[in-house]
Structure 1
Amino acid sequence: MRTLWAWHCIEENEHKAVAFDTYQQLYDKTLVDYAIRMGVMALITTLIMVAIHSFIVELMREDKQLLNLRSWAQGLNRVWGPNGMFTAIIPGYLEYFRPEFHPWDHHTEFLLNRWRKLLGFNKSR
């Protein structure tokens, strides 16, 4: 499964701008379109955060850790602490809100090459 998910991530990264470019071609680059793009991102972010955190609560309930404050502190630190999973992506996430943002502003070719090599994939796949 790890290889399948890694391949899928590589594939998504290779064409990360397709939907964005399509949106840009279909709609004028006006303040209204920018507001819609920002509103949709804010909505989706909220929905994703609610879903992720409800999964965390459910997993802690299943592990009988729901009332364990130490487990909560450790888990929240892993997610939101100084080196947390979400904390680490905040700067890149906020870049999306720039009016002139484009997905290719974030160069990820080094990640693609590293993972292709690690998994034994060559560029032609």
Structure 2
Amino acid sequence: MWAWGAAKPTPCLAKLARPVVLSGFNITEPKGKVVMHISTKEKGLIGNSTIDNFVLKPGQNLLPMNAIVDTALALGNVGKQGMVNMIIVGHTAVYNGVHLPYYESVLQSHTLTLAVNLQSLLGSI
């Protein structure tokens, strides 16, 4: 019996009567990247959000999203209750460096508006 995956054939020291366990390994393969623009009605574009390693699967997709927002611009839109209406619209969808126009057109055609308590959010940092 020879060890699996060895550069040179190497005798395997496990007895034939005992199970031989080969350890598993994880191959991390980068998937897609989705970028969305974040804006306000008053100031326009104030930042973007990114979902790295995006894989769309049937059912509910809960994915971590990173956002970069110009807080000075966002604070200029704070209402009386400390709320800012942020408008999020899809911008790009890329897989292995190639733009996916069919996904991009769908992302760009849907607008999500979120009322964010920016004062509370910044106060917790």
- TM-score computed with the length of structure 2 as normaliser: 0.19
Larger Rg: 2
Q: In proportion to residue count, which structure has more strand?
A: 2
Q: In proportion to residue count, which structure has more helix?
A: 1
